[in-house]
Amino acid sequence: MSAKVSVCDHPLVQADLARLRDKGTSHEQFRAALANASAIMGVEALAGLATRPVTVHTPLKAAQAKVVDQPVVFVAILRAGLGMLPGLLQLVPEALIGHIGLYRNEETLNPVRYYVRLPKDLDKSFVLLLDPMLATGGSAVEAIRILKTDGASRITLLSLLAARAGVRRIQREHPDVRIVTAAIDPTLNQHGYIVPGLGDAGDRLFGTL
Ligand code: PRP
Ligand code: URA
């Protein structure tokens, strides 16, 4: 895999992934594990944020420090990307939030767009695109295309679980986009589900099974 893919092997993320994969996990537990894993992975995904030097005054002396110097935008692919926001907003409460509504056509597996609402100034922002599942890659490719059309140039895709085929597709169609994931599974089944995967992330998150 290219250098642009980071697989987050943190024990706490892997423990959350085990819970998320487990078919016995309730939707309440699923939400908590997804939010927690997203926060930990978010720390890694946001490591390239621009900073600027500042001087702060401790009770003892002036000290050199750094502060974040770039707007942060979280863009959730609906529906399942919404489940990643609670954890990430703990890291960056002031982040702006965009929504891209896509669902997969069950026969063609192509994404169908139904809603887009994005913050301004994406060209100056560090954009984290959120979707727990990267399967064929069709939804992420379409969301990245929408973001780039709106000016985004620095995009990281945060996906809890990726299929090898989806990773390859992003690398082929958007080689500038970094991917942060917790695992890369080998295959997709004939319905486009990641195998072994975790099932339908949106349905498990929202209890719509
Ligand atoms: C799921 C998932 C991704 C997409 C991944 O969404 O949350 O957005 O499938 O598949 P792909 O890589 O093959 O495009 P789904 O279309 O089921 O919509 P939902 O989140 O509203 O359930
Ligand atoms: N979407 C999901 O929710 N799960 C998959 O395995 C593939 C796409």
pLDDT in tens, 124-143: 999 999 999 999 999 999 99
Residue 27 lies in a domain: yes
Of ligand 2's listed atoms, the one at least distance from the Cα of 188 is: 6
Taking CA atoms, 95 is separated from 7, 18, 56, 90, 190, in Å, by 24, 29, 23, 10, 38
Cα of 121 vs centre of ligand 2, distance in Å, is 31
Residues with CB under 6 A from ligand 2: 133, 135, 192-194, 197, 200-202
Rounded to the nearest integer, the mean pLDDT of the chain is 97
The predicted model scores a pTM of: 0.96
> For the residues 73-92, what does the mean pLDDT come to?
98
Residue 3 reports pLDDT greater than 60: no
Cα of 61 vs centre of ligand 2, distance in Å, is 53
**Domain at 174, CATH number:** 3.40.50.2020
Residue nearest to atom 3 of ligand 2 (CA): 200
Residue 64 lies in a domain: no
Structure-token pair, residue 161? 């679980």
> For the residues 182-198, what does the mean pLDDT come to?
97
The reported pLDDT for the residue numbered 2 is 54
**Rounded to 5 degrees, what are φ and ψ at 177?**
-90, 125
Say what percent of the chain tops pLDDT 70: 99
Residue 1 reports pLDDT greater than 80: no
Q: How many C-alpha atoms does 18 have within 13 Å on its Cβ side?
A: 7
* Residues ≥6 apart with Cβ < 8 Å to 180: 5, 6, 8, 41, 44, 45, 156, 157, 158, 159
The number of distinct structural domains making up the chain is 1
Residue 156 lies in a domain: yes
Residue nearest to atom 21 of ligand 1 (CA): 79
The reported pLDDT for the residue numbered 209 is 86
- Domain residues for the domain of 10 are 5-47+71-206
Which listed residue (104, 150, 164, 168) is catalytic? 104
Residue 195 lies in a domain: yes
Residue 164 lies in a domain: yes
Structure-token pair, residue 17? 């992934």
Residue 60 lies in a domain: no
Residue 52 lies in a domain: no
Q: List the beta bridge partners of residue 84.
A: none
141-175, pLDDT tens digit by residue?
999 999 999 999 999 999 999 999 999 999 999 99
Residue 177 lies in a domain: yes
Ligand 1 pocket member 79 (CB < 6 A): yes
